[in-house]
Structure 1
Amino acid sequence: MLALTCPTQSYDWGSTHAIPTFQRTEADGRPVAEVWVGTHPLGTARVADGTGQGRALTEVAGELGFMLKVLAADRPLSIQVHPDASRAAAGYADEEAAGVPLGAPHRVFKDPFPKPEMVYALTSFDTLVGLRRTSEVMRVLHAIEHPLAESLMASLVERPGFAGIVRLIEGLLESPPPPATVTEVAAACQKALDGGRDVKRAFETAVELADACPGDVGVIVSLLLNRLTLQPGEAAYLATGIIHAHLRGLCLEVMVSSDNVLRAGLTTKHIDAPGLVRCLEEGTSRAARVEPMVFNYSTDVFSPCGDFALSVTQSSPADPAGVVLPAHGPRLLVCTGGEVALVNHRDEVLRLGRGEVAYADDSDGELRVAGTGEVAQAFVPAPDARGQLFDLL
């Protein structure tokens, strides 16, 4: 087991206080958006040695195929889609062949990997996930008194369903409405709210986004998306091809080790409208929620796919010998509350406080966690993990 120090990302949508508070460090006034726990080349964790100059985790673990993040949003992230494996590989090869620098603002594919991901809420966490049904979009647009809404509704009548909503998004991105039009639509949404009308928080969301990103086409696109609120301890899976945008809150993200993002608004970064539309696949917030399975009574396991899983374990003096964690192999762990001790099969001990992270591998064998606190663990499930994990219950 190895304690890690991890890089942070200071994107403008980040919180000035949430991650410093989580890590029990002093805030310096800058927005801290993410902590990266893993071996991605754009942000590699290091083995803690007390100097901040320890070995890169890649020297110990090689290239991990999954990563863990702590994410804190005070403002909306961009509306975005992540590519699947074939699109990621092809897009990366094309941009490499074209000589597009990895750090170029218009570079889309930073690596050749897909980026499915799961969010686990540490606080109340708001996000947009997937497209609303045609009937729901029509209800939203019908209640907005503006010519743009009427035009979008007429287009959807002509071509309903998923393909028709994707066509609306394509048109909005290729020919964005003027900022003044976006402001007018937001005002019409506010008028509907003032009259006591909303359709599953569509108008509330548009007004909030217009305040955060005035004049941005993403305000209009948001009307087509489902809004989902996760309470602490709840999780949602964002498969490749699913349009989404995180709005606010503190969460853990576990994902394939990738940084490929195609954007559709609420951002000053590059928008690749044709590429995003090609990546879109059906998905809704109703399908996004991940129900946990219980292991050893003290652990919830969220395993939405074969690429990664997340276990969250609570320990207390009621378990003086410690609580056994599921999984073997490479594991990334973060203490999400209290103070705990990780114990491997050699009875070696690593103590963690809230916000501190660690790496364990197959040589550590079975891990136990003792103390009063909570530990989240990211890992890759075995092909028959359900049987392995839960035949012990």
Structure 2
Amino acid sequence: MDRLVNTVRPYAWGSVTAIPELLGREATGEPQAELWMGAHPGSPSRVDRGQGLRSLAALIAANPQAELGAAGVAKFGPELPFLLKVLAAGTPLSIQAHPDLAQARAGFAEEEARGVPVDAPHRNYRDANHKPELICALGDFEGLCGFRAPVETADLLQSLGVASLAPLIELLRTKPEAEALSQALATILTMTGDGASATVAEVAAAVERAAETEPGGQFAGYTYAAREFPGDTGLLAALLLNYVHLRSGEALYLGAGVPHAYLRGLGIEILANSDNVLRGGLTPKHVDVPELLRVVIFRSGKPEVLRPVADADGEELYPVPIDEFRLSRFALGTTDRRVAGLAPQILLCTEGTARLTAADGSTLILARGESAFLPATGTGTVLSGPGATVFRATVTL
């Protein structure tokens, strides 16, 4: 068992207080957006095995089978296949989508062949992996996820009373679904000039009025985007998407090609070990409209809110359709819980104090916000600590 020393990413959209409060630290006054736990080369966790702090990524690379297990290496290769984060959104994140595995591999190879530096601001593909993800709310969490049915979006836009939206509304009402959604998004993301600015300003004002008339109604979530990104056509793109309000413990799974944006709140995010993002607005970062339109799946549907399913051992699992990551949690009481050790895993304590006891009797105490890496040793670990909540990130073998 290794206590993890993790890096906080200070993106501009991050909350100033949420991650420091979780970690029991003083806020610095600067945004703290993501706490990374894992072996992604961008910000790998560090561990101390008696020789000072070393990168978890380097330790895994030195002996993959000892850290990940023979079965894990055979199935996923010699790298930890997931990345665990605490995500703290103080303001909206960009509207974005992630590529599937074939798209990521092709995009990465193409940019490599062109000699685009991997850390270049205009680079789309920073690795050759896909990035399915799961977000689990710690408290109230708001976001946008997937396309709303085109006719429903047409009704929503009609209610704003903005005359310049008429062509967009007509398109959404009359075209087949995939064509309506793709043409609407392309139209919005390529709007330029004074006319575009005037439309966005009118829509922002109308959204604010609607939200004031019906506090907590369907426009409430979109006001964050209107306020934080004045003049950004991403507001119009946001209105194509479903607004979702998660309660504590609820989650969303986001597969390849699903457009989404997190608006505000604190959550646990687990994803395939990738940093590939195609953005479409509400951001000062690089936006590649043609590539985003190539990656996005133009299909509408209501987001499925996931709730954990408990087994007989008290492990509450969030089911997902992939094997690269598996997220569950334990709400510990007076009964100890045992986790198997056949696969690599990260344990994160989000409430109370948890005790980890290995098969050899060694222990590790995790306070709120602390985490540990458990190599795939084949032996189990016992969790205890009445009142503690522990999230478990691992893989499905």
TM-score for both structures, normalised by structure 2? 0.90
Deviates more, 1:256-265 or 1:135-144: 135-144
Q: Deviations over 1:321-369 (max 9, x none)?
A: x212356310011111100111122222111000111100221621211
Q: Which residue of 2 aligns with 1:189?
A: 207
Q: Deviations over 1:190-213 (max 9, x none)?
A: 334455599x61x32332211111
* Counterpart Cα distance in 2 of 1:193 and 1:9: 32
* Counterpart Cα distance in 2 of 1:290 and 1:35: 23
Q: Which residue of 2 aligns with 1:311?
A: 328
Q: Deviations over 1:154-186 (max 9, x none)?
A: 222341313311211111112246333211111
1:54 aligns with 2:58: no
Contact 2:178 2:299 in 1 (8 A): no
CA, structure 1 residues 194+371, in 2 after alignment: closer, same or farther (shift >3 Å)?
closer
Deviation, 1:285, is 6.6
Deviation, 1:119, is 0.5
Deviation, 1:298, is 2.7
In structure 1, runs of 5+ residues without a counterpart are 383-393
Contact 2:143 2:221 in 1 (8 A): no
- Quote the RMSD (CA, aligned, Å): 2.0
Contact 1:227 1:285 in 2 (8 A): no
Contact 1:4 1:359 in 2 (8 A): yes
Q: Which residue of 2 aligns with 1:94?
A: 110
* Amino acid in the other structure paired with 1:221: A
Contact 2:140 2:247 in 1 (8 A): yes
* Equivalences for residues 128-139 of structure 1 within 5 A: 128-139=144-155
Q: Which residue of 2 aligns with 1:106?
A: 122
* Equivalences for residues 114-133 of structure 1 within 5 A: 114-133=130-149
TM-score for both structures, normalised by structure 1? 0.91
Q: Secondary structure at the match of 1:288?
A: coil
* Counterpart Cα distance in 1 of 2:245 and 2:128: 31
Q: Which residue of 2 aligns with 1:343?
A: 357
* Equivalences for residues 61-72 of structure 1 within 5 A: 61-62=60-61, 63-72=79-88
Q: Secondary structure at the match of 1:375?
A: strand
* Counterpart Cα distance in 1 of 2:23 and 2:281: 31
Contact 1:238 1:288 in 2 (8 A): no
In structure 2, runs of 5+ residues without a counterpart are 62-78
* Counterpart Cα distance in 2 of 1:271 and 1:34: 21
Q: Which residue of 1 aligns with 2:198?
A: 180
CA, structure 1 residues 197+163, in 2 after alignment: closer, same or farther (shift >3 Å)?
farther
Q: Which residue of 2 aligns with 1:73?
A: 89
* Counterpart Cα distance in 1 of 2:171 and 2:235: 19
* Amino acid in the other structure paired with 2:372: A
1:141 aligns with 2:162: no
* Equivalences for residues 283-294 of structure 1 within 5 A: 286-294=302-310
Q: Deviations over 1:27-58 (max 9, x none)?
A: 1111100011111111111104799x601102
